[in-house]
Amino acid sequence: MHQYRGRMIIHTGSMFSGKTSSLEKDLKRFSIANYKVVAFKPIVDSRYSKKEIVTHDKISLKAMPVETSDDILREVEKRSPEVIGIDEVQFLNDSPENVLSNIEKILGKGITVVIAGLDMDYTAKPFEIVKELMPKADYLHKHHAVCKSCGADAWVSHRKIASDKRVEIGAIEEYEPLCRACYKKAMINDKLNKNQETFI
């Protein structure tokens, strides 16, 4: 595993594509190889647990809740890990520039950084931090869920509930993975339903 020393590994894609599961597997492999591993998660993501990273199939991993990448850097300097994991990086309450700067500092210490994050929001707009991190990655894995409508590779997470907030923490009740074609059909239906509601 020494070839990953000071490298950045990114797992990205839509919801339900296995990003967090892949992060958990990577961190577990490093732990088995006797590397000192510390995992982090944004404090805002408390869907399943406040102090654990939990995959949608309920596999869990202890993690430290943080607000920003500054918190991560402070803990890294305090704990001196060899590998860190950051789940749902797009939910950090931070500017992309600051996250990039802090991750570069961590990588500069020879620490391996494994990251999982959504590439796009429910409107198919890229999350800025993930967009900035992807070209900087040493290893980049784009994961695909199965389209809930047709069974093809999913492209984006379609929000099923009525909300215009960009960040709406949820799971299978609130979101569904869709391919590009099925997403476009769903967006047309969403607009029609919204228009109908205004006339009722």
Q: Say which residues have a Cβ less than 8 Å from residue 109's Cβ, sequence separation at least 6.
A: 6, 76
Q: What is the CATH number of the domain that holds 14?
A: 3.40.50.300
Task: Supply the range of the domain harboring residue 65.
Answer: 2-143
75 carries an active-site annotation? no
CA distance 96 to 146: 29
Pair type for strands 52-54 and 60-62:
antiparallel
Residue 43 belongs to some domain of the structure: yes
In a domain, 153, yes or no: no
Q: Count Cβ neighbours within 10 Å for each residue of 47-63 and write b for 16 or more, e otherwise.
A: eeeeebbbbbeeeebeb
In a domain, 179, yes or no: no
Q: What is the pLDDT of residue 161?
A: 80
In a domain, 172, yes or no: no
Q: CA 4, CA 75: separation in Å to the nearest integer?
A: 21
Q: What is the pLDDT of residue 197?
A: 45
Active-site pick, 82, 88, 132, 197: 88
Q: How many domains does the chain have?
A: 1
pLDDT of residue 172: 62
Query: Within a domain: residue 139?
Result: yes
Entry pTM:
0.88
How many whole angstroms separate alpha carbon 9 and alpha carbon 30?
13
Find where tokens 């999982």 sit. Answer: 116
3-class DSSP assignment, residue 178:
strand
pLDDT at position 61 is 82
Give, for all 200 residues of the chain, the pLDDT tens digit.
Answer: 678 899 999 999 999 999 999 999 999 999 999 999 999 999 987 666 667 877 666 677 889 999 999 999 999 999 999 999 999 999 999 999 999 999 999 999 999 999 999 999 999 999 999 999 999 999 999 999 999 999 999 999 999 887 778 777 656 678 999 999 999 999 998 876 664 444 33
Q: Nearest-5° angle of CA 28, CA 178, CA 15?
A: 25
User: Is 200 domain-assigned?
Assistant: no
Q: What is the pLDDT of residues 110-140, one digit of tens each?
A: 999 999 999 999 999 999 999 999 999 999 9
Does a structural domain hold residue 193?
no
In a domain, residue 39? The reply is yes
